[in-house]
Amino acid sequence: MTPPRPARVSVRAPATSANLGPGFDALGLALTLYNDFEAVPRDDGELRVEVRGEGADEVPTDHRHLVVRAMAEAFDRAGEKLPGLTLTCVNRIPHARGLGSSSSAIVGGVAAAAALLGRAGPDGGPDRDWIYQVAADLEGHPDNVAPCVFGGYTVAYREGDRWGAVSLEPDPRLMPVLCVPQWRLSTERARGLLPGSVPHADAAFNAGRAALMTAAVCGHPETLYAATRDRLHEEYRAPAMPRTLDLVRDLRDQRGLPAVVSGAGPTVLVLCSVAEGAAGVDSPEITEVLDSIRRSAGNDWDIRPLPVEQAGVRSPSPHP
């Protein structure tokens, strides 16, 4: 007997930081900052979208809304048509800052659709592999989608016609710190600055540092400074975000901190850590580093320590 479809579903999808320096389009980290979505099917076939928080006065509230588009694609993949819907979005992830706001919307939409379709994973929770395949196809690259779906630190890749990902638990000594500016930068513009090819030596350099990054994040944070060096994308994007690259250079060269561009920018990510035990936002070592970052950044950046989100997208039990 087919179980009844839920009358309402709620989904929470985290922010993410991709690339982490050398891992272009492959490495990502889920963060404890979230967008929340609630979807309620309607019998009259109408679509109503309410948006609160980030982008509330900017994003469309019809079929063009990214969450709605993701839900429609997911229903289409399942051979069904998206029903009438009341969709409520509570956005906390800043838009166009390199924090995976679009991936959160896409993953949130696909996860909501999966729940409405009655799809569940082996553990009874979200069908993460199906959500990942659909969402990565929609996004076109998996580096933000993978940590948003699976949580933790992820290595994403493409094998044949499927997306793959490995999710690993970061060392508890790690504490990501974000420097979020007021200005924005579109991913399309940032990607448009990348060259069609790079020197073999630079590709080899990044391959080694990306491998080192996994070791650094998952057990050897003392190597984070070396692991976060990049030669494939950050400097090429400097013309679009000079202040971002200036801050990255200052934090690295003057403060000795493992700072990188978060995703396509313009946010700066600093992968801070403590010597022993689990890092907390109030740990004395982290507080000291935060003061140092603020001195370099000045007043134009919002400095946010954000622990790693370990679980990824969450879809609490559907409401009957």
Q: How far apart are CA 39 and CA 9, in angstroms?
A: 5
Give me the pLDDT at residue 6, please.
86
| Number of Cβ atoms within 10 Å of the Cβ of 25 | 18
Which distant-in-sequence residues (6+ apart) come within 8 Å of 299 by Cβ?
none
Domain boundary assignment for the chain: 9-168, 174-305
DSSP 226: H
pLDDT over 80 (residue 317): no
Lowest mean pLDDT among 187-201, 218-232, 249-263: 187-201
Which of 35-39, 194-198, 314-318 shows the lowest per-residue confidence on average (mean pLDDT)? 314-318
* Average pLDDT for 261-285: 96
Average pLDDT over residues 300-305: 96
pTM of this prediction? 0.95
Per-position DSSP letters for 123-165, written without gaps between them: TSS--HHHHHHHHHHHHSS-TTHHHHHH-SEEEEEEETTEEEE
CA separation (Å) from 36 to 81, 142, 151?
A: 23, 21, 16
**pLDDT tens digits along 50-59:** 999 999 999 9
Rounded Cα gap, residues 281 and 314, in angstroms: 23
pLDDT, position 316: 67
pLDDT score, position 5:
78
Residues making up the binding site for ATP: 94-104
For position 1, what pLDDT does the model report? 40
Taking 80 as the threshold, does the pLDDT of residue 269 lie above it?
yes
Residue 190 has pLDDT above 90, yes or no: no
Name residues whose C-beta falls within 8 Å of residue 162's C-beta, 6 or more positions apart in sequence.
133
- Name 172's Cβ contacts closer than 8 Å, sequence gap at least 6: 277, 278, 279
Check: CB of residue 268 under 8 Å from CB of residue 262.
yes
> Quick check: 2 pLDDT over 80?
no
What is the CATH code of the structural domain delimited by 9-168?
3.30.230.10
Show Cβ contacts of residue 62 under 8 Å, excluding neighbours closer than 6 positions: 47, 49, 68
Question: At 300, phi and psi to the nearest 5?
Answer: -90, 5
Percentage, residues of the chain above pLDDT 90:
92
Domain 174-305, CATH number (from 1.10.3720.10, 3.30.70.890, 2.40.37.20, 3.40.50.2000): 3.30.70.890
CB-CB contact of 135 with 9 (8 Å): no
Q: Which residues define the annotated binding site?
A: 94-104
For 101-122, the pLDDT digits (tens) are: 999 999 999 999 999 999 988 8
